[in-house]
Amino acid sequence: MKFIDTSQNLRARLGTIQIIAFLVLGLLGARLYYLQIVRGDELKKRAEEQRIRLLPIPAPRGAIIDRTGKIVFVGSRQTYNIILSREDLKGKNLETLISDYANGLNLDEQFLRERFEQIKTQPAFESVLVKENASQSDIIWVDAHSYEHPELRVELQPQRTYPANGFLSHVLGYVGEISKEQLEDPRYKNLKPGDIIGLKGLEAYYDEYLRGIDGYRKVIVDSRGRIQQEIEVIPPQAGQDLITTIDSDMQLKAEEALDNSATKRGVIVLMDPNNGEILSMASSPKFDPNLFSQRISTKEGRKEYAALILDKDRPLYNRAIQGRYYPGSTWKIPMSIEGLMQGHITVEKSNLVCGGGITVGNKFTRCMGSHGSPPLGYAITKSCDGYYYRLGIKMDAEGYEKLVEDFEFNKKTGIDLSGELNNHYPSREYKKKRFPKEPDWRQIDNVYASIGQVHDEVTPLALLRSIAAIAIGGKMYVPHLMKEFKPVHAIGEDTESEDYRKPRDGFVFQRQEPKVISFTPAMHKLIIDGMWGVVNGGGTAGSAFPKWENFEVAGKTGTAQVAALGRDCGERCRDHAWFVAFAPARTPEIASVALIENSGFGGRNAAPATRIVYEAYYNRKMGIQPDTTSNGQFAASNAKKQGNRQ
């Protein structure tokens, strides 16, 4: 048998195996070096994040308080919220989750679909709010279904609370979750989906001050997302408290007056004419801001919101700054002072013919009386339309445009509320836009504009601002609701820590220099005498007010047509009732505007509503004990101690 030497093949194979083993070990070593040395810190951090979570602690918003600093209109309370951890959703059927959550937690399915769609863009480690203000039954359901739904947990968080019955709702506004569009706004660059911000009213306008700085809890969780250990807690910093200019007593009376008015639709605003502070702003009907902070995610809350949107009385609409109305005869007051300043009439010779009306072309426009050839003061007191028809013709388009510029009817008032609308005002440019088929300014347009019709649509606040300026001799202040913000102190002493919360300084409202409308003391006296006569000299509001010692009221009624004469379209086509006023007449402390929609004559409807507020102010000024029934109810349930047409 021939011997075959195979050792050479064996050695070759062993060499090959050794080379392969060396290459494999080299690759493993390189990979190990890459993972441990090159990417070691990154992978270590990722591993830590898989077992360590940061759970946000929402900061309570600052309170909103009345001018005395003692009554809290808006605060935050601790409530239980149901939170979802996105990290624990992997492999779950979303439709099954939506059905389970909707049935178990009484949530609207469409709301949940929108929520899941919204969070697709969020980082996986962020938590998501599923339900606010969880009930005891909600908490029990989450606990009972912890095995099927380990992604859910219950946390104690602050929730915004507002007064019951919609008190001051249009001023306070409400909060809600930030929208996708708002997240793209630079003002909200540090926020994320699900964060709560102010959406309307003061809540929106001063959101960055009212909104605090969230804290967080650093915890260790197990594979099912359950918290095993708390490592660190960084407490939140509350937002700053806002002291408003609102007088709670005056606000209560203003809302009471609207609630008792003929149509329960309207607005009453009370302002200090000497600095622009808003003492009350009541718009009716009201709404409950608690819907948006507490109930909007539930089935019932969604139905309630839909009903608000569809309500023909528009309760979400702040009539003080978003309602544009024909001012009617209240427009005669800025008309009067402007006529004097432009020289169309003078203090010494202010008489114009009434004539029972005026004929322009083939159209006769009547006056409600026949006043002969009255002086300006008498024309104001009796609200003589014929007088103002002729004054309007003298002023013509140029005069109206000067009036608009002087009283800034071509601008917003600048109040610190979101959503204020511009006025529509008499001018040649505006007529071209509104009536393109008849773009030229004609003499009849002067007639219509003189009594606050057709070409004049103003917000109640813009009208009040002009009246208040006339009342005090020509200084026109910017109306405002913010009096001051309280400071917030830092948390902790370690100023080198990255989690140190810097203190926020308090600040008071910086009053802007008023615009000055220049007219003489003699002109001023002539206007005030006429407005004094409206209430005290047999004028169009003569029966609305009693004779108060050292507190005589000056005012002007207005009745503004909503529909053309002869048109019958029901209650909604009845005239709007106006009354603008201030008191005391010679040294004003307060000025006001009242509008009662579709109620008829200003002297019969708006002036008596104003009296309710002025009477409360006068009683307090004189130390007369007021009727505290409604005030007591508010304090107990909501507050915390800290005949003529014109």
Amino acid at 175: V
Neighbours of 28 (CB within 10 A): 10
List, in order, residues 6 or more apart from 452 with CB less than 8 Å away: 326, 327, 328, 329, 330, 331, 332, 558, 560
Q: Residues 435-440: contacts with CB within 8 Å, 24+ apart?
A: none
Inter-residue contact 125 to 87 (CB < 8 Å) = yes
The length of the chain is: 646
Q: Residues 97-103: contacts with CB within 8 Å, 24+ apart?
A: 97/149, 100/145, 100/148, 100/149, 101/130
What is the spatial distance between Cα 512 and Cα 246, in angstroms, rounded to a whole number? 19
Tokens of 639: 């507050």
Q: What is the pLDDT of residue 113?
A: 82
Q: What is the pLDDT of residue 494?
A: 45
Is the preceding omega at residue 123 within 30 degrees of 0, hence cis? no
Q: What is the pLDDT of residue 445?
A: 95
Q: What is the pLDDT of residue 414?
A: 95
What is the spatial distance between Cα 586 and Cα 588, in angstroms, rounded to a whole number? 6
Residue 336: name the closest of 185, 519, 496 by CA. 519
Q: What's the Cα-to-Cα distance from 387 to each of 41, 357, 403, rounded to whole Å?
A: 86, 8, 18
What is the spatial distance between Cα 559 and Cα 577, in angstroms, rounded to a whole number? 5
What is the spatial distance between Cα 224 and Cα 374, in angstroms, rounded to a whole number? 88
In terms of DSSP bridges, do strands 215-221 and 52-57 run parallel, antiparallel, or are they unpaired?
antiparallel
Inter-residue contact 318 to 289 (CB < 8 Å) = no
| Nearest 10 degrees: Cα torsion 607, 612, 618, 622 | 150
- Is 332 strand, coil or helix? helix
Q: What is the pLDDT of residue 640?
A: 41
Q: At what angle do helices 332-341 and 521-536 cross, to 10 degrees?
A: 150
What is the spatial distance between Cα 80 and Cα 138, in angstroms, rounded to a whole number? 10
Residue 279: name the closest of 241, 246, 328, 312 by CA. 246
Chunked into runs of 10 residues, the chain (646 residues) has average pLDDT values of: 60 77 80 72 59 80 94 89 73 79 84 75 65 84 82 83 94 90 85 86 95 85 70 88 96 97 96 98 95 80 89 95 96 97 97 95 91 96 96 97 97 95 94 92 95 94 98 97 85 46 74 92 98 96 91 96 64 90 97 95 94 96 70 40 41
What is the spatial distance between Cα 58 and Cα 196, in angstroms, rounded to a whole number? 9
Tokens 């099912």 correspond to: 224
What is the spatial distance between Cα 248 and Cα 251, in angstroms, rounded to a whole number? 5
Phi, psi angle pair for 200, to nearest 5°: -145, 165
Q: Report DSSP letters for 438-454, one per residue.
A: S-S--HHHHHHHHTT-S
Residue 330: name the closest of 531, 600, 473, 537 by CA. 531
Query: What domains does the chain contain, in order, with CATH numbers?
Result: 52-241 (3.90.1310.10), 252-478+514-634 (3.40.710.10)
Structure letter (DSSP) for residue 563 = S
What is the spatial distance between Cα 622 and Cα 418, in angstroms, rounded to a whole number? 36
Tokens of 229: 């250990």
How far is C-alpha 249 from the chain's CA centre? 21
Q: What is the pLDDT of residue 564?
A: 56
Tokens 């902070």 correspond to: 293
Residue 514: name the closest of 556, 480, 484, 481 by CA. 480
Tokens of 574: 């009845």
- Give me the helices (H) in 34-128, please: 40-51, 94-105, 109-118
What is the spatial distance between Cα 133 and Cα 159, in angstroms, rounded to a whole number? 8
In terms of DSSP bridges, do strands 64-65 and 242-244 run parallel, antiparallel, or are they unpaired?
parallel
